[in-house]
Structure 1
Amino acid sequence: MANYLILFYTKSGNTKKMANAIYEGIKNTELGASDFNLDLYNISDNNIVMHELENYDCIIVGAPIHYGKLASPMNDFLESSFENNISLEDKIGGCFTSYGVDIQGAELAILSLVQFFLEQGMIVPGINKEEAFGQIIAGTPDDEILSKCREYGQKIAHLTKSICT
């Protein structure tokens, strides 16, 4: 049984739209499979307990970029996993980000998520040559971006299924 978590923080709602599209991609890939779990949590809702992260096989993290850095609520949440001795070793990690109009720092922000995954001993797949480690968008995601997010969810689901079964 594969357990998926999409964990996100949003301010404008753009990151949530991306998270929902990734959710759809995973759900459509797992269609017909009776033994999978797929959760979608906004950290602003305070409905996830840090130790629950260890129960997931795949954790996909999304947050906006503020001033070239990952939004501090998500950054603080992830950093607290080290303080709480959370073990995420050998789990699949995926990431996505959004930003307003200033692209500066977008790649560094996504690399900070990749660095978190690697420091935790997680497996981080690339997407393709253009997007490398995760989806990065400016402004409101359009149909093309949401389609790419669904494809990303499908790719992560295929990888997770191949490792977890």
Structure 2
Amino acid sequence: MSRVLVLYYSSYGHIETMANAVAEGARATGATVDVKRVPETAPAEVAKNAHFKLDQPAPEARVDELESYDAIIIGAPTRYGRIPSQMASFLDQTGGLWARGALNGKVGGAFTSTATQHGGQETTLFSIITNLLHFGMTVVGLPYSFQGQMTMDEIVGGSPYGATTIAGGKGERQPSQIELAGARFQGELIAKTANKLFG
């Protein structure tokens, strides 16, 4: 079976929760799954004063270990419709992997969180997907076969480009059951794809 990395950055825990749901879906396929986070680059005092969730148990990832995975699923919150500097800094260090084509042909996907329904979910997903395409990866989104994203019964995240959640303007909203189901669905689909290619 394939090896899958769920790589994320989370300031307040919303993406951390989504990352664990993505991993749960991937594990359901029999894949070996690691959940890792990128290093926090904000000064400690700034992060503390902003009430960042600093007690996340996931280990920090290293750039040099990315090539050992068959699939990499990247999650990050939005920053003005794009990825935050913490994730960008990590990905900016992958030039050596790119130059060697170390990630060519591997499977990738993206998931995100925004404060509002229209706060940049799809542009943030595409800012992650752009990196995956430059690496030569095969991108797997969240197709409409996951019907939860079509509901009109409640406010819900989700996009054909990847799983999403809506956190609220003050981070007061946690991922809903539908949003977590979407994350599990995408994780499972990506792992199934990687299993077919590498398993």
TM-score, normalised by the number of residues in structure 2 = 0.74
CA distance in 2, matches of 1:120, 1:128: 22
1:133 aligns with 2:148: no
1:71 aligns with 2:62: no
Instruction: Identify, as 1 or 2, the structure richer in strand.
Output: 1
> Counterparts in 2 of 1:83-98, with a 5 A limit?
84-86=96-98, 87-98=102-113
Instruction: Identify, as 1 or 2, the structure richer in helix.
Output: 1
> Counterparts in 2 of 1:22-37, with a 5 A limit?
22-30=22-30, 36-37=31-32
Tell me how far 1:44 sits from its aligned partner.
2.8
Q: Which runs of 5+ in 1 are unaligned?
A: 31-35
Which residue identity is paired with 1:116?
Answer: N
Q: Which SS does the other structure have where 1:59 is aligned? A: strand
Farther-moved stretch of structure 1 (72-81 vs 55-64): 72-81
1:21 aligns with 2:60: no
Q: Judge conservation of contact 1:103–1:138 (CA < 8 Å) in 2.
A: no
Which residue identity is paired with 2:71?
Answer: C
Q: Deviations over 1:70-93 (max 9, x none)?
A: 1110011112112x3442111100
Which residue identity is paired with 1:143?
Answer: Q
Percent of matched pairs sharing the same residue: 32
Of 103, 106, 122, which aligns to 2:121?
A: 106
1:60 aligns with 2:73: yes
Which ranges of 4 or more aligned residues in structure 1 deviate by more than 4 Å? none
Which residue identity is paired with 2:66?
Answer: L
Larger Rg: 2
Query: What residue in structure 2 maps to residue 33 of structure 1?
Result: none
CA distance in 2, matches of 1:6, 1:37: 11
Is the alpha carbon distance of 1:26 and 1:101 closer, same or farther for their aligned partners in structure 2, counting shifts above 3 Å?
Answer: same
Query: What residue in structure 1 maps to residue 33 of structure 2?
Result: 38
TM-score, normalised by the number of residues in structure 1 = 0.88
Q: Judge conservation of contact 1:7–1:59 (CA < 8 Å) in 2.
A: yes
Aligned-residue RMSD, C-alpha? 1.7
Q: Which runs of 5+ in 2 are unaligned?
A: 41-58, 150-158, 168-173
Q: Deviations over 1:78-110 (max 9, x none)?
A: 12112x344211110011000123633221111
